[in-house]
Chain A
Amino acid sequence: GAGVSQSPSNKVTEKGKDVELRCDPISGHTALYWYRQSLGQGLEFLIYFQGNSAPDKSGLPSDRFSAERTGGSVSTLTIQRTQQEDSAVYLCASSSRVRAGGSKITDTQYFGPGTRLTVL
Protein backbone atom coordinates (compact mmCIF):
# COMPACT_ATOMS: atom_id res chain seq x y z
CA GLY A 1 0.00 0.00 0.00
CA ALA A 2 0.93 3.64 -0.19
CA GLY A 3 1.28 4.17 3.52
CA VAL A 4 1.10 2.58 6.93
CA SER A 5 -2.36 1.27 7.73
CA GLN A 6 -3.83 0.38 11.09
CA SER A 7 -6.97 -1.40 12.14
CA PRO A 8 -9.38 -0.93 13.67
CA SER A 9 -9.50 2.86 13.61
CA ASN A 10 -11.54 2.85 16.80
CA LYS A 11 -11.94 0.22 19.48
CA VAL A 12 -14.18 0.39 22.51
CA THR A 13 -13.80 -2.38 25.04
CA GLU A 14 -14.72 -3.19 28.59
CA LYS A 15 -12.22 -3.23 31.40
CA GLY A 16 -10.63 -6.64 31.73
CA LYS A 17 -11.06 -7.67 28.09
CA ASP A 18 -8.17 -8.39 25.73
CA VAL A 19 -7.68 -6.37 22.55
CA GLU A 20 -5.57 -6.75 19.43
CA LEU A 21 -4.43 -3.85 17.29
CA ARG A 22 -3.03 -4.40 13.84
CA CYS A 23 -0.43 -2.54 11.81
CA ASP A 24 0.46 -3.00 8.13
CA PRO A 25 3.74 -1.21 7.43
CA ILE A 26 4.87 0.24 4.15
CA SER A 27 5.95 -2.55 1.85
CA GLY A 28 9.68 -3.17 2.07
CA HIS A 29 10.18 -1.32 5.35
CA THR A 30 12.22 -3.44 7.71
CA ALA A 31 11.75 -1.42 10.88
CA LEU A 32 8.43 -1.12 12.72
CA TYR A 33 7.61 0.92 15.81
CA TRP A 34 4.63 1.18 18.13
CA TYR A 35 3.92 4.38 20.06
CA ARG A 36 1.13 5.43 22.37
CA GLN A 37 -0.41 8.89 22.52
CA SER A 38 -2.37 9.74 25.64
CA LEU A 39 -3.45 12.96 27.32
CA GLY A 40 -1.40 12.41 30.41
CA GLN A 41 1.78 11.00 28.89
CA GLY A 42 2.04 12.49 25.42
CA LEU A 43 3.69 10.37 22.75
CA GLU A 44 5.61 7.39 24.13
CA PHE A 45 7.66 4.69 22.49
CA LEU A 46 6.42 1.16 23.17
CA ILE A 47 8.28 -1.41 21.07
CA TYR A 48 10.59 -1.70 18.05
CA PHE A 49 11.07 -4.48 15.48
CA GLN A 50 13.94 -4.62 13.01
CA GLY A 51 14.14 -7.49 10.57
CA ASN A 52 14.68 -10.80 12.32
CA SER A 53 16.36 -9.28 15.37
CA ALA A 54 14.88 -9.58 18.83
CA PRO A 55 12.47 -6.70 19.42
CA ASP A 56 13.26 -3.84 21.77
CA LYS A 57 10.44 -4.02 24.29
CA SER A 58 11.85 -1.42 26.65
CA GLY A 59 8.88 0.92 26.29
CA LEU A 60 6.10 -1.53 27.10
CA PRO A 61 4.41 -0.24 30.27
CA SER A 62 3.51 -3.63 31.77
CA ASP A 63 3.52 -7.35 31.04
CA ARG A 64 -0.09 -7.04 29.89
CA PHE A 65 1.31 -5.54 26.69
CA SER A 66 2.90 -7.69 24.00
CA ALA A 67 3.51 -7.45 20.28
CA GLU A 68 4.58 -9.68 17.47
CA ARG A 69 5.55 -9.21 13.89
CA THR A 70 4.81 -12.05 11.54
CA GLY A 71 6.89 -12.65 8.43
CA GLY A 72 8.69 -9.38 8.91
CA SER A 73 5.62 -7.44 7.86
CA VAL A 74 2.31 -7.16 9.72
CA SER A 75 2.45 -6.48 13.44
CA THR A 76 -0.11 -7.03 16.17
CA LEU A 77 -0.09 -5.25 19.51
CA THR A 78 -2.01 -7.15 22.17
CA ILE A 79 -3.21 -5.71 25.44
CA GLN A 80 -4.49 -8.23 27.95
CA ARG A 81 -6.91 -7.48 30.77
CA THR A 82 -7.33 -3.89 29.63
CA GLN A 83 -7.46 -1.10 32.19
CA GLN A 84 -8.93 2.37 31.86
CA GLU A 85 -5.45 3.88 31.83
CA ASP A 86 -4.78 1.96 28.60
CA SER A 87 -7.18 4.32 26.81
CA ALA A 88 -5.08 6.14 24.21
CA VAL A 89 -4.32 6.37 20.53
CA TYR A 90 -1.89 3.66 19.47
CA LEU A 91 0.31 4.68 16.57
CA CYS A 92 2.39 2.46 14.35
CA ALA A 93 5.32 3.65 12.25
CA SER A 94 7.64 1.97 9.79
CA SER A 95 10.93 2.93 8.27
CA SER A 96 13.54 1.62 5.90
CA ARG A 97 17.01 1.53 7.37
CA VAL A 98 19.93 1.78 5.02
CA ARG A 99 23.60 1.71 5.89
CA ALA A 100 26.24 2.58 3.32
CA GLY A 101 29.84 1.66 4.05
CA GLY A 102 31.35 3.63 6.87
CA SER A 103 28.69 6.31 6.70
CA LYS A 104 25.41 5.70 8.25
CA ILE A 105 22.25 6.62 6.44
CA THR A 106 19.12 6.56 8.46
CA ASP A 107 15.59 6.91 7.32
CA THR A 108 12.40 8.47 8.51
CA GLN A 109 9.54 6.92 10.40
CA TYR A 110 6.22 7.12 8.61
CA PHE A 111 3.17 6.91 10.81
CA GLY A 112 -0.21 5.30 10.37
CA PRO A 113 -3.48 7.01 11.32
CA GLY A 114 -3.62 5.25 14.67
CA THR A 115 -6.14 3.18 16.59
CA ARG A 116 -8.13 5.00 19.25
CA LEU A 117 -8.68 2.62 22.15
CA THR A 118 -11.32 3.40 24.76
CA VAL A 119 -11.57 1.19 27.81
CA LEU A 120 -14.84 1.59 29.69
Chain B
Amino acid sequence: AQSVTQPDIHITVSEGASLELRCNYSYGATPYLFWYVQSPGQGLQLLLKYFSGDTLVQGIKGFEAEFKRSQSSFNLRKPSVHWSDAAEYFCAVAIDNFGNEKLTFGTGTRLTIIP
Protein backbone atom coordinates (compact mmCIF):
# COMPACT_ATOMS: atom_id res chain seq x y z
CA ALA B 1 0.00 0.00 0.00
CA GLN B 2 1.12 3.53 -0.62
CA SER B 3 2.30 5.76 2.21
CA VAL B 4 3.29 9.38 2.66
CA THR B 5 5.87 10.82 5.02
CA GLN B 6 6.10 14.42 6.08
CA PRO B 7 9.15 14.42 8.31
CA ASP B 8 8.64 17.90 9.74
CA ILE B 9 5.81 18.15 12.24
CA HIS B 10 6.26 21.88 12.86
CA ILE B 11 8.22 24.55 11.00
CA THR B 12 8.70 28.19 11.97
CA VAL B 13 9.87 30.75 9.45
CA SER B 14 10.12 34.50 9.38
CA GLU B 15 7.78 36.49 7.19
CA GLY B 16 9.46 37.08 3.85
CA ALA B 17 11.75 34.08 4.17
CA SER B 18 11.70 31.14 1.80
CA LEU B 19 9.94 27.91 2.64
CA GLU B 20 10.33 24.26 1.77
CA LEU B 21 8.06 21.55 3.16
CA ARG B 22 9.18 17.98 2.61
CA CYS B 23 7.10 15.09 1.38
CA ASN B 24 8.20 11.56 0.52
CA TYR B 25 5.97 8.82 -0.75
CA SER B 26 6.23 5.09 -1.03
CA TYR B 27 4.68 3.45 -4.04
CA GLY B 28 5.92 1.25 -6.87
CA ALA B 29 4.82 3.52 -9.67
CA THR B 30 4.20 7.23 -9.97
CA PRO B 31 1.12 8.17 -8.01
CA TYR B 32 -0.92 11.29 -8.32
CA LEU B 33 0.47 13.84 -5.89
CA PHE B 34 -1.22 16.70 -4.08
CA TRP B 35 -0.59 19.41 -1.55
CA TYR B 36 -3.50 20.68 0.51
CA VAL B 37 -3.59 23.48 3.08
CA GLN B 38 -5.86 23.64 6.10
CA SER B 39 -6.34 26.83 8.05
CA PRO B 40 -7.70 26.64 11.60
CA GLY B 41 -11.32 25.55 11.57
CA GLN B 42 -11.36 25.25 7.81
CA GLY B 43 -11.56 22.41 5.35
CA LEU B 44 -8.80 21.35 3.03
CA GLN B 45 -7.92 23.59 0.13
CA LEU B 46 -5.96 22.30 -2.83
CA LEU B 47 -2.70 24.14 -3.45
CA LEU B 48 -1.43 22.15 -6.40
CA LYS B 49 -1.33 18.71 -7.97
CA TYR B 50 0.90 16.55 -10.14
CA PHE B 51 -0.45 13.93 -12.47
CA SER B 52 2.15 13.73 -15.24
CA GLY B 53 4.35 15.86 -17.48
CA ASP B 54 6.42 18.76 -16.23
CA THR B 55 7.83 17.85 -12.84
CA LEU B 56 7.67 21.42 -11.55
CA VAL B 57 4.10 22.41 -10.89
CA GLN B 58 2.74 25.81 -9.97
CA GLY B 59 -0.10 26.28 -7.59
CA ILE B 60 -2.15 28.95 -5.95
CA LYS B 61 -0.86 31.56 -3.51
CA GLY B 62 2.62 31.50 -5.04
CA PHE B 63 3.40 27.89 -4.11
CA GLU B 64 5.20 25.41 -6.31
CA ALA B 65 6.26 21.80 -5.93
CA GLU B 66 8.75 19.59 -7.69
CA PHE B 67 8.30 15.89 -8.30
CA LYS B 68 11.58 13.98 -8.10
CA ARG B 69 11.12 10.36 -9.07
CA SER B 70 14.61 9.34 -8.00
CA GLN B 71 13.98 10.60 -4.49
CA SER B 72 10.28 9.71 -4.31
CA SER B 73 9.71 13.27 -3.19
CA PHE B 74 7.24 16.04 -3.85
CA ASN B 75 8.47 19.00 -1.83
CA LEU B 76 6.47 22.20 -1.57
CA ARG B 77 8.22 25.56 -1.89
CA LYS B 78 7.48 29.24 -1.68
CA PRO B 79 10.11 31.94 -2.22
CA SER B 80 8.68 34.42 0.28
CA VAL B 81 6.09 33.53 2.90
CA HIS B 82 3.35 35.82 4.15
CA TRP B 83 1.77 35.82 7.60
CA SER B 84 -1.42 34.46 6.01
CA ASP B 85 0.44 31.28 5.03
CA ALA B 86 0.37 30.09 8.64
CA ALA B 87 -1.63 26.86 8.48
CA GLU B 88 -1.24 23.11 8.35
CA TYR B 89 -0.03 21.58 5.12
CA PHE B 90 -0.79 18.06 3.98
CA CYS B 91 0.86 16.09 1.23
CA ALA B 92 -1.29 13.35 -0.28
CA VAL B 93 -1.02 10.63 -2.87
CA ALA B 94 -3.65 8.78 -4.84
CA ILE B 95 -3.50 5.73 -7.03
CA ASP B 96 -6.19 4.50 -9.33
CA ASN B 97 -7.74 1.49 -7.65
CA PHE B 98 -10.39 0.53 -10.18
CA GLY B 99 -11.60 4.10 -10.28
CA ASN B 100 -11.28 4.78 -6.57
CA GLU B 101 -8.60 7.40 -6.14
CA LYS B 102 -8.79 7.64 -2.39
CA LEU B 103 -6.20 9.91 -0.92
CA THR B 104 -3.53 8.78 1.49
CA PHE B 105 -2.35 11.73 3.53
CA GLY B 106 0.82 12.51 5.37
CA THR B 107 0.61 13.53 8.99
CA GLY B 108 0.88 17.20 8.13
CA THR B 109 3.33 20.02 8.78
CA ARG B 110 2.23 22.95 10.89
CA LEU B 111 3.69 26.21 9.64
CA THR B 112 4.16 29.15 11.98
CA ILE B 113 5.16 32.56 10.66
CA ILE B 114 6.98 35.01 12.88
CA PRO B 115 7.28 38.74 12.15
Binding site for B on A (CB under 8 A): 4, 31, 33, 35, 42-43, 45, 48, 50, 53, 56, 59, 91, 93, 95, 97, 104, 106, 108-114
7 of the cross-chain contacts (CB-CB < 8 Å) are A31-B101, A42-B105, A43-B103, A45-B102, A106-B101, A108-B49, A114-B43
> For this complex, into which size category does the number of interface residues on chain B fall?
20 to 34
Identify the closest chain A residue to B99 (Cβ).
A50
Question: Which chain B residues numbered 37 to 62 have a C-beta less than 8 Å away from chain A?
Answer: 42-46, 49, 51
Residues of B with C-beta under 8 A to A93: 44
A-B contacts counted at CB < 8 A amount to 53
A4-B43, A33-B102, A97-B101 are known; give 17 further A-B pairs, CB within 8 A. A42-B105, A42-B108, A43-B90, A43-B92, A43-B103, A43-B108, A45-B103, A56-B100, A97-B99, A106-B51, A106-B94, A106-B96, A106-B101, A108-B46, A109-B101, A110-B46, A113-B43
Q: Is the interface of B mostly helix, strand, loop or mixed?
A: strand
